[in-house]
Structure 1
């Protein structure tokens, strides 16, 4: 088995911007991201890159039902995210990268706390 190098944040940012600018199709970026989410890497991949790959893989999601409850990859249907959403979420991902880089352990701990709090809210039905 050949182990590959994980993509970099710059790779992710470049692909994300290209979709946001309309230079490449969402489906192309989704197809690029999908195998990278499941690849065997020779080095530990960047946590924020792996999160971004999941997001990029979903950029081609379209509504498959009028009530918006059914979605799928690619057309037909209206895209779940518009171009403004794509730009906004790119900026949010960049902010998360800065926050993580400033305090990786603290960032991970905060994510765990937030996830546990959400689980507790769901259990209580609130």
Structure 2
């Protein structure tokens, strides 16, 4: 047992894109590994997903993976948004405070088939 609080030692920003529609919420199908825990574990503070084009209604799915099993952790609702020079593309943010052991990762999917990527930015750090 720790006798003192522990904080992340190394800040970490993970960048990825999600392009393939996947309607499965059971961890199967195409998922993008968006963040991988460091050798001593990691903390995920925030996930921001931003569309690069007009979006249809749907969800962004966030899974926690132990390397073998993917488990649905959260979902972000994607709203119908017509992106233009005067209207920004859809974006959603989830604050987590999720602690990941070594060997775990965060995977992301979408059921929205836009043909263009969703940009995923994960902020956190390694212990």
- Which of the five TM-score ranges fits, normalised by the shorter chain? under 0.3
**TM-score using structure 1 length:** 0.25
Larger relative strand fraction = 2
Larger relative helix fraction = 1
**For the pair shown, which has the larger CA radius of gyration, 1 or 2?**
1
Larger RCO (CA under 8 A, 6+ residues apart): 2
